[in-house]
């Protein structure tokens, strides 16, 4: 009788939760990809409702969020309008036949779901490892809620505990040398121009800029003030520090559960 009264959407969610529950009960460790998927499913199911405008972030974890949105669109007739933060996000939206929009037609977003390179205990984020920090921050700033989905390796007490690649800073190409020198003189550490992998030369963002990765050494800095100072340096377009922006984070765990954290 139970199966007869469950809707297809409830059945779908029950199966997903059951898989993760069985993994917990047998003490089988999940892979990082499974942990990402668990966080994505829980975030989408908890926050996305019908007729919402949804910001779609970038990165490997967001792939699972878009897949979940597509599943719910099929099983529940969920209708959402998706605003991408990058070329990759736009491709995911189109691939899964979700409704695509842009900020010029939908400047107010209900919820943005995005990944992060690191989240500290104060819910300060490092983002931009994939090079999309400017568009990610613009979309996040237009959102009523920013929700982060990640695996347990992104959960830190202090920035730099786990993520060792530094804070990405998008800069105008002509200014990268003076910006690099000013950051190192003011805050210490080392700042490196991010190099491309598949071609010679630097990484070029979707906006035609370069990225500096600031390898900071002081983990006790006031990140809100640092972010403000960095943005005042001429030539800096945006930083990968997301301060006072994330409302809630979901971290998929190796045992199969999901840890949730809300910004105080």
Query: Comparing C-alpha atoms, which of 184, 154, 155 is closest to residue 169?
Result: 184
Contact 163, 118 (CB under 8 A): yes
Say how far apart CA 89 and CA 185 lie, in whole Å: 36
**Residue 136 a catalytic site member:** yes
Q: Which of 34, 136, 170, 238 is catalytic?
A: 136
Phi/psi of residue 36, each to 5°?
Answer: -60, -45
* Three-class secondary structure of residue 239 per DSSP: strand
Residues 6+ positions from 214 with CB-CB distance below 8 Å: 166, 167, 168, 169, 183, 187, 189, 190, 191
Query: Comparing C-alpha atoms, which of 123, 117, 122, 61 is closest to residue 92?
Result: 61
Please give the helix or strand (H or E) that residue 261 lies within, else none: strand 258-262
Say how far apart CA 24 and CA 22 lie, in whole Å: 5
Dump the DSSP string for 170-231: EE-GGGHHHHHHHHHHHH-SEEEEPBPSSSSSB---TTS-EEEEEE---TTS-HHHHHHHHH
Q: What token pair was written down for 117?
A: 């390179």
Supply the residues annotated as catalytic.
136
């Amino acid at each position: 009788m139970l199966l007869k009264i469950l809707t297809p959407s409830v059945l779908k969610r029950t199966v997903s939760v059951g898989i993760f529950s069985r993994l917990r009960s047998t003490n089988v460790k999940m892979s990082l990809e499974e942990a990402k998927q668990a966080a994505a499913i829980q975030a989408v199911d908890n926050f996305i409702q019908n007729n919402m405008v949804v910001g779609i972030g970038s990165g490997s974890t967001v792939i699972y969020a878009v897949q979940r949105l597509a599943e719910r669109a099929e099983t529940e007739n969920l209708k959402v309008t998706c605003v991408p933060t990058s070329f990759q996000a736009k491709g995911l939206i189109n691939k899964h036949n979700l409704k695509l929009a842009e900020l010029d037609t939908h400047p107010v977003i209900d919820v943005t779901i995005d990944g992060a390179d690191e989240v500290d205990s104060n819910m300060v984020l490092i983002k931009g490892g994939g090079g999309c920090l400017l568009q990610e921050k613009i979309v996040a700033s237009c959102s009523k809620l920013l929700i982060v989905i990640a695996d347990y390796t992104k959960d830190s007490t202090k920035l730099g505990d786990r993520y060792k690649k530094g804070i990405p800073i998008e800069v105008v190409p002509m200014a990268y040398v003076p910006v690099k020198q000013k950051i190192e003189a003011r805050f210490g550490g080392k700042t490196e121009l991010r190099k491309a992998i598949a071609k010679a030369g630097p990484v070029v963002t979707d906006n035609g800029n370069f990225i500096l990765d600031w390898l900071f050494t002081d983990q006790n800095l006031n990140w809100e003030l640092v972010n403000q100072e960095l943005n005042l340096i001429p030539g800096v377009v945006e930083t990968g520090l997301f301060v006072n922006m994330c409302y809630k984070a979901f971290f998929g765990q190796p045992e199969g559960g999901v840890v949730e954290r809300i910004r105080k």
